Amino acid sequence: MSQKELGYVELEWTCPVCKTRNPGTQTTCSGCGAAQPDNVQFEAPAAAAIAEDQAKIERAKTGPDIHCGFCGARNSATAKTCRQCGADLTEGKAREAGKVVGAYAPDTGAVVRCTACGMENPATARQCVRCGAPLDKAPVAPAAAPAPAAAGGMGRGTIIFAILAVVVLLGLGWLVFAMFQTSDTVATAVDARWERSIAIMGQVPVQASAWRDEAPANAADLSCRTEVRSTSDSPQPGAREVCGTPYTLDTGTGMGKVVQDCVYEVYDDYCTYTTLQWGVVNTVVQRGDGLAAAWPGANLGAGQQLGQRSEKYVCVVTADDREYTFDLRTDAEFAQCQPGSRWRLSVNALGGVTDAEPVR
């Protein structure tokens, strides 16, 4: 982000005694003659044109004004002694500088009406051009309207939703309870089932996207569009400068520096394409009853290879005329599921086996 200088505008300050708005470069109030205290901040004017007064611009560049340590009068940064009391200004207090005072509001020809005589004055005026009465600050361009607040109170839909939520929660609670509430029983193995599968891997076309210079060499069906790839503070070949809303910084002199943050957007081709990647093209499965589990055979085509293997073993048992099934993780565990073998089961209220141990 680089900061671009657009020029200077005169700020203003409001007299804390009589509320008169005064031009920023003026150090005493035009309404009552009071000096600007060091704690009275400069404000952005309702509307302002970029200043052309070289003296004011030069003053803005010399650095923030200094308030006299004895009488408080505002003096320019270059002054050595106070213009009001003659005191040495090395004891003085420099005004703060660099703070954002607001968005830059160029003069758009807006008007502000004098409340004393009804005269329409330009928004840049601080006193009525006809009667001299102080003018209110013209409204600055309104900020984006805030989103309307959500209507208060609970609607009927909310209540119905709340009731449904309670019912669902109660149901879930019961389910969890039923899953953890278990009873033990001894069962006899009656069957053993197994299923083994192997994934067949091959090159499959997939859609992918990348910057043109990062796309793989085998990319096909390239379709590209121009997008911002990076931003830079300095000009780059083919880059476009993008700047934000101008805003005004306090220089501490009564003048504001109008700046704009800019970046250079660097464009490049972002492409969508088809490329070949290893993927599952088929899965061969073999399943059966009994303990003699076997891997399925696989006929590999050109450019294919075997992928991930998976196995699933299920032991079927009966107890008190009820049939239960449970999974065994390895074929070594599965080998214990001999017909007639005895198993101690933990069974939950839903009939699911939560634990199974062979009875030795």
The residue ranges that bind Zn ion (CB under 5 A) are: 15, 17-18, 20, 29, 31-32, 34, 68, 70-71, 73, 82, 84-85, 87, 114, 116-117, 119, 128, 130-131, 133
For residue 67, the minimal CB distance to Zn ion (Å) is 8
Minimum CB distance to Zn ion smaller for 71 or for 110: 71
Minimum CB distance to Zn ion smaller for 17 or for 167: 17
Distance CA 27, CA 142 (A): 30
For residue 226, the minimal CB distance to Zn ion (Å) is 56
Minimum CB distance to Zn ion smaller for 29 or for 353: 29
For residue 155, the minimal CB distance to Zn ion (Å) is 52
Distance CA 105, CA 210 (A): 42
For residue 267, the minimal CB distance to Zn ion (Å) is 55
For residue 263, the minimal CB distance to Zn ion (Å) is 44
Cα–Cα distance list, 352 to 12, 119, 184, 359 (Å): 79, 88, 12, 19
Minimum CB distance to Zn ion smaller for 118 or for 303: 118
For residue 253, the minimal CB distance to Zn ion (Å) is 18
Minimum CB distance to Zn ion smaller for 13 or for 270: 13
For residue 28, the minimal CB distance to Zn ion (Å) is 8
Minimum CB distance to Zn ion smaller for 25 or for 275: 25
Minimum CB distance to Zn ion smaller for 15 or for 77: 15
Distance CA 46, CA 105 (A): 7
For residue 230, the minimal CB distance to Zn ion (Å) is 53
Minimum CB distance to Zn ion smaller for 93 or for 287: 93
Minimum CB distance to Zn ion smaller for 47 or for 114: 114
- Select from 51, 86, 47 the least CA-distant residue to 69: 86
- Select from 112, 119, 116 the least CA-distant residue to 138: 112
For residue 73, the minimal CB distance to Zn ion (Å) is 5
